[in-house]
Amino acid sequence: MRMRWSDTMLWQIHPHYRAQVAALLENIKQGDGLHRDNVERKFTKVVASWFDMDELPIDMKDGGIAVVTVSGPLIKEWNYFTASYRALTESFRKLRASSDVVAVVVKFDTPGGTVDGLDECATELKALAATKLTVAQIDGGCYSAGYFLACACPTICCGRTMHVGNIGTVISLVDSSEAYTSRGLRSVTKKTGEIKGIGIEGDEITQAQEDFLQSLVNQHFEHFKAAVIEGREMSEAEFTAVSDGSWWLGESALGLKLIDQVSTLEQTLDMIRKQLSV
């Protein structure tokens, strides 16, 4: 009998779960390719199956109302510990295609996240909102990239003591060159251009490099600005008033046009049910 590669490994795990892990590894081996996104998708799917759950962050309520949870830092790749743009994008696409879904609540409790994957995810959420009643619900905090995503929904609701805002873009590096010098160390970096290798430990961050980073931050901020002004129907002056990185409680956010309604998740669901007469 030919042994599987997973049978040759030592396992300190209950036989039932060992079999599941072995099956997962075999599926990865036989799957679409051993690269990061496939592997993380497989792990997400298997971990979800252990709890008899879907790997997509979708919960169905009565009356054809779906709740999509955006929780934790937003990142591009599949990950079952935090919010993934890939998982959210697939969720929005699936809900848009489902005839059983009549309304969607996107529930936010996120500090924000990366730029990579955000615009594509927001585009898919806009497409969903164009076909089904779609409401953003802030149920904790909705900051930075989370708010960028929320602006793709025509209506944003927020709990009275929940937080919303922190509009802006940021990148941060540490210039450790002086610390190196004080310890008698010298970083030696050979590169082909001034910007190449920016942020290497021990290297001085030059003014040209700082200018380059600021240019990137400004370009991404313009995308953020466009998303908020379009989604919230704000003027330039109204946007400027809320785009210094501050954040507000729900009641204050309402007066700044950051949200449309102060309500809890259950109150928002009741509002949707009444609107749909379900």
Q: Assess whether pLDDT exceeds 50 at residue 240.
A: yes
The contacts found for 182-186 with CB under 8 angstroms, 24 or more apart, are: none
Half-sphere exposure of residue 184: CA atoms within 13 angstroms, side-chain side: 0
pLDDT at residue 81, as a whole number: 66
CATH number of 58-167+245-276: 3.90.226.10
Q: Where are the domains of the chain?
A: 14-50, 58-167+245-276, 169-235
Contact (CB, 8 A) for 234 and 250: no
Q: Assess whether pLDDT exceeds 60 at residue 259.
A: yes
Which residue would you say has higher pLDDT here, 110 or 6? 110
pLDDT confidence band for 90 (50 / 70 / 90): very high
Tokens for 214? 């600021």
Q: What is the mean pLDDT of residues 81-92?
A: 88
Q: What is the mean pLDDT of residues 226-243?
A: 97
Percent of the chain exceeding pLDDT 70 equals 81
Query: How far apart, in Å, are the Cα atoms of 173 and each of 107, 176, 209, 210, 213?
Result: 32, 9, 11, 10, 10
Indicate the pTM of the whole model.
Answer: 0.81
pLDDT at residue 272, as a whole number: 96
pLDDT at residue 1, as a whole number: 46
pLDDT digits (tens, 9 = 90+) for 203-229: 999 999 999 999 999 999 999 999 999
Contact (CB, 8 A) for 118 and 151: no
Q: Output the 3-class SS for 131-180.
A: CCEEEEEEEEEEECHHHHHHCCCCEEEECCCCEEECCCCCCCCCCCHHHH
Q: What is the mean pLDDT of residues 252-271?
A: 96
Angle between helices 85-97 and 118-129 (to 10 degrees): 20
pLDDT confidence band for 40 (50 / 70 / 90): low
Q: What is the mean pLDDT of residues 19-47?
A: 64
Residue with tokens 């209950």: 14
State the average pLDDT for the chain: 87
pLDDT digits (tens, 9 = 90+) for 157-206: 999 999 999 999 999 889 999 999 999 999 999 999 999 999 889 999 99
Of 271, 245, 242, nearest in space to 254 by CA: 242
Residue with tokens 């848009």: 96
Phi, psi of 103 (to 5 degrees): -150, 150
pLDDT digits (tens, 9 = 90+) for 117-138: 999 999 999 999 999 999 999 9
* Cα separation, 245 vs 97, whole angstroms: 36
Percent of the chain exceeding pLDDT 90 equals 69
Of 182, 153, 192, 155, nearest in space to 275 by CA: 155
